[in-house]
Structures are given as structure tokens and as C-alpha cells.
Amino acid sequence: MIRWILAFIIVAISLAASHFLIDEKGYVLISVGNTTVEGTIISFLVWAGICFTVLYFAFITLRALLRMYGKTTGFWRGKKELKAQQVWQQGLWASINDDAAAVQSTLNKGQAPEEWQDAQQALLAKAALQQGDKAQALAHLQNVSDAGQSKVPKLWLDANQNEQALALLDAPMAEKKPTQAAMSSYLAGLLQAEKHAELATAINQHYKRLDWSQAQWQAFMARWFTANAEQAIGQFEQLPKALKVQSEALYMQSQASAGQWQNLLPTLQKWLKKGQYQAFADVVVHAKNPDVKLRTSLQDALKKHPEQPQLLFAMGCLANAAGEYELAAKVFDNCQLTELDKTHLKPVLNSYEQTQQFQKAYLLLAAK
């Protein structure tokens, strides 16, 4: 553009100089309607130069002001975005470290970046639940946008809003391939809402898709059987074969705890006949009340195999469940108790405490 301006100036100077060479000033006449403007070429050139100079400096000044404004605005905007990013990162790390108080104090200071504001509300809800403030948690969950609600059903479950959580999961579970998170939350929601029939159906439909470890399945099944012990036999029979195998011990333990011996007696008697004494003891250790037929069967097996420590231990467990603490304590005195884990120690410790043999109980605990 500079070249064009220079060319224009050179042409203008040449035209003006030509008049000096011929000794003519040169006149210009401009007529617009009833208005006329006349003058020499030199005067018009001077005015044109002045106007151009004024416009040029006005343009430079305006551009400088606009740039200054843009930089200033960008600075404050960038500072605000940086602060939002810092707040979000600090709150996220606090949540990773399970520091609920730090999450609340940090994320309540300001807004996270726009794309993470739903996650901010979810973290605040989780922190409130960790501190036992369900009302505050619900307030944060309600601030999550409609688009983000499908991502927080577990928090609704933790806030005891089972129906809300299951309603949020209807759409994700209706998809051809539900996500792992959706399926896990759906099963947990059905269990928490005590919808056992629907839960059995859902397990049969989705257990192959769920990427759960054996430990996760066992923990879930233990909760399910314990929550509905009276109908556990029906739930167990509905399970897929693969889950039945890994859940059988948990099912029987839950039934023993609930005193549902009528559902277990045939299997336990079969185990005694086949010499599966450890499996038998692993179930009987959970006994909370006695069963005459089972005790008779155990006594018969113990007479035939008095050398089996598992049978002796099981007899002590049944005596403890029957309230015969003196007998149970004497039986346990003859067992290898140091090899038992904490679950198997419970009836032992109870019989010692009931018979005021606190020193024995203390020594057992100290050895673990």
C-alpha cells in the first residue's frame, strides 16, 4: 500500500510542477448542484495532504486503542479462565485423595471451566455424602444439567434416591450395549430398592457383559443373599450356572446366618458323607441358631472320624449357636485356633467371652 501512496504523491507533484514550468497556476472547479468550489491545484493538493494526514493518524490511533482494549480484555478473561482451571484442578485432586472438606472449600470458591461445571456439582455432592449431609448432596445433584444427570445415578443411590437413580438409568439401559457404569449402577439400584425379582432378571441378562472380577461378584452376591435371606433360595436357583458355582458358598453362609437350615440340610448332609468337612465347617461357622437334625448328623460323622479337626470345630460352632457356651469353649480348647481367620474366630471369641475366659480371647486376637 505504501507503494501506491508514493506513486500517487509522485503523480500529484508532477502535475503541480508542470504548471510552474509553463507559468500557470492551474485552476480546479467542482460543482455539485448549486454549490461550487474552485481553487488552484496547489491549494487542493495541500488540503488533500492535510486530510490524508489527519485520516492516517486517526486510523493509527484507533487501531492502537483497539489493540490495547483487546489485550486488556484478553488479560482479564485469561486470568479468570486460569483461576477457574486452578479451582477445578485443586478440587479434583482433593476428591482423588478423599478429602471431602477440601473439595467443598475449594470448589465453593468459584466456578470450574464451563465444560466441567456438571462434574463440579457431582464432586460437591459426593463430598457432602462423605460428610453425611444428604440434603446438601441433593441440592448439588439437582444443579447438574439434564444432559449430565445420566452420569450421576450412583450419587442418587448413595443419597437414598433409588427411584430417581433407576429412572435416570432407563435410557442408558435401553441401549443395545449399555456401558459398564450404567449396568453396575442399575444392579446396585435394584438391590438397594429391594427389587429382587427385577434384579434376578437383570443379572441373567447382563452378567456376561459386566466386567466384574470374582471378588466383585462375590461381594455383590453376599449383599443380595443377606438382604433377602428368606427368598435367597429362589434367587440362587435363578442364577446362571457360572454364577451359581462361585456363589454357592456365599448363599449357604447367608442361609446359615438366617437360620434357614431346611434349605441347607440335604447339601450339608451330603458333604458329611463325601468327606467335604472344610466346606461344611465354612458354612456352620456362620450359624446363629441350632438345628437338631444337623447336629445329629455331625455327631455321627464325628464318631466315625474323631481325628478330623474341621468336624470338631463345627461341633463347637453349633454348640455356641445353641447357647451352650461352656461346651463350645471346651470343644474349641481342643482345636487348632491359631490357624483360623477372623471370620472363623467369631464363635470362638463369643464362647470365651460368655464364659468369662477373657485372657484366652485376648491372646487369640493378639496372635492375629
pLDDT 10s digits, 14-45: 555 555 555 555 566 666 667 776 666 666 66
Architecture of the structural domain at 264-368: Alpha Horseshoe (1.25)
Matching CATH topology for 1-145 and 264-368? yes
Q: Which fold has domain 1-145?
A: 1.25.40
Distance (Å) of CA 363 to CA 46, 102, 147, 337, 352: 112, 41, 58, 11, 11
Q: Which residue type does 26 have?
A: G
pLDDT 10s digits, 75-120: 445 667 778 788 888 888 888 888 888 888 888 877 778 888 888 8
**323: CB partners within 8 A, 6+ apart:** none
Q: Domains of the chain: which residue ranges? A: 1-145, 264-368
Does pLDDT of 55 surpass 50? yes
DSSP run (H or E) holding 35:
strand 35-40
Give the predicted TM-score (pTM) of the model: 0.57
